[in-house]
A and B are shown apart, each in its own frame.
Chain A
């Protein structure tokens, strides 16, 4: 058995006296799409930011493809595609210019870089707006630019913080299809507030509340614990609070 693509190892983050993430451990293997659920402020984004090497953990660590995100951040980040919360992008850049920048930052040059940018734009249906400044785009397009950036280098590990937030139903459907297409070869963590999404795209769901894992099961298992997934989610997160 090979090591898991993502290993989260006793990860803890404290901000002063407040513990945002409290000793969380889990692993994600290739082919798994992990739905990361929890109420606002439960520590989802902080966990993802620590995994992406943006926030330094107070204790514990995480490994991406065996590379420690604290000890060897650059090596770990090479294997990672990350969509930060809110899909931030540089507003004055064109879609193509922005993606070319991330391609360069990932070490691609010349025609290979151009091909990567082209493929990423095709996968996220951005070709029609490729020469527009990002600030002139609608919210749905902006989110897809962020998504394109995260999968440009075809990473084995994808961490997406609310990838479908702000998209219309058609766009949500497209993004879910995209995730499903990529799923077999990658380890993915997707945070979301939309519980129906978990059943649609995830093979496994983790619920966290107050910085702790309160459930780790398949979506079907989880919803069978109560009337439906919504009810189970409310029960789990209320108990912890």
Chain B
């Protein structure tokens, strides 16, 4: 475990040593706030909850999370530091997990900084803070899922632009499979696929969280989704590290 945390610590510190962290956090806060109050109709709805906020977060993360993950391995390969990292006495899976945890912790920090929204609804009304907490947990799960996808793709290429575009595309696939457009189309043509598509959808799962429902099924789904992609990440690192 020591190796994992050492890698995670270094990685997290490196976000804040460059403007990446600040740009990410500022853009995330501005966009999530703006969308919640404008398109989300925060005031007009007349309900004291964060439903509009939770509905926008996965779409913001869709673009912002790949921006974090694109450099995760691609940068190490470009700088050659991957050779240093993987010849330290830590196991390869520790490096993979450490990097993922750092990126996840970073997303958690960004999410935590939206706390003024929580204060606002609590001043304006009497929201169910349990539901809000569940919603935040769901957002964190979605972030973890996108991060795992993006990190694995980053391990495949030296080029950060390719890593970004591919990660957005793959994350979009998992975000959009649950949308009515896709499921209706599929259930008209191939009903069997529609069920699978809905089952794989990240946004559907988040919707349950944001209603305050934390079901074991959903947690297990996110955990295995992240696990599978981290495994793919480790395989990709092993195959491509020396190219």
Contacts and interface: CB of A to CB of B under 8 A. Distances in A.
Interface residues of A, number: 32
B80 A86 contact: yes
Q: Interface range on chain B: under 10, 10 to 19, 20 to 34, or 35 or more?
A: 20 to 34
B80 A106 contact: no
B88 A106 contact: yes
B91 A74 contact: yes
Contacts of B7: 105
A101 B238 CA distance: 22
Contact of B87 (A52, A56, A89): A52
B83 interface: yes
Contacts, number: 72
Contacts of B9: 101, 104
Main secondary structure of the interface of B (DSSP, over half): helix
B162 interface: no
Interface of B: 2-3, 6-7, 9-10, 13-14, 17-18, 79-81, 83-84, 86-91, 238, 241-242
Interface of A: 49, 52-56, 73-75, 77-78, 80, 82, 84-86, 88-93, 97, 101-102, 104-107, 133, 146, 149
25 contacts: A54-B83, A55-B242, A74-B91, A77-B88, A78-B89, A82-B84, A84-B84, A84-B87, A86-B80, A88-B81, A88-B84, A89-B84, A90-B10, A90-B14, A90-B79, A90-B81, A92-B14, A92-B18, A101-B10, A104-B2, A104-B9, A105-B88, A105-B89, A106-B89, A146-B84
Given A75-B89, A77-B89, A92-B14, 11 more contacts: A54-B83, A54-B241, A74-B90, A82-B87, A88-B80, A90-B79, A93-B13, A104-B6, A105-B89, A107-B2, A107-B89
